[in-house]
């Protein structure tokens, strides 16, 4: 039960579900996720780390960006886009997922 609770907490935030959908489609960095969802790179990285702690994403590659390295993430499983579509279909109009 603890593992299921941990998993639900990991995907329970809208940004994290968006991250899973993005990383499933195209491995991306926390910076790119932040640009997509309107968060700072550090705030986006916080959510990515929660997903990594749950084993839902993993590093794919490391890119060199000027004076630092940027980690690119991908999902460890598939089906996140389908889950997002199912959740959106279940939500009454006017409410957010």
Q: Is there a domain that residue 33 lies in?
A: yes
**Cα 44–chain centre separation:** 9
Q: List the domain range (segments joined by +) for residue 74.
A: 2-89
- What does the pLDDT average to over 90-94? 74
Model-wide pTM > 0.85: no
Higher pLDDT, 47 or 4: 47
- The confidence score (pLDDT) of residue 68 equals 86
- Any domain includes 75: yes
State how many domains the chain has. Answer: 1
Considering the domain boundaries, does residue 95 fall inside one? no
Say what the pLDDT of residue 75 is.
Answer: 92
Number of C-beta neighbours around residue 74 at 10 A:
16
Residue 81's CATH number:
1.10.10.10
Would 94 be classed as within a structural domain? no
Domain assignment present for residue 17? The answer is yes
Going from the C-alpha of 19 to that of each of 8, 16, 49, 59, 68, the distances in angstroms are 15, 5, 11, 13, 22
């Amino acid at each position: 039960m603890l593992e299921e609770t941990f998993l639900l907490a990991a995907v329970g935030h809208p940004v994290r579900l968006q991250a899973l959908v993005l990383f499933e489609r195209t491995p991306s960095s926390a910076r790119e996720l932040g640009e997509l969802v309107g968060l700072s790179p550090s705030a986006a990285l916080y959510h990515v780390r929660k997903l990594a702690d749950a084993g839902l994403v993993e590093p794919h590659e490391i890119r060199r960006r000027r004076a630092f390295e940027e980690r690119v993430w991908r999902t460890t499983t598939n089906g996140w886009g389908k889950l997002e579509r199912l959740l959106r279909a279940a939500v009454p109009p006017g409410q957010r997922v």
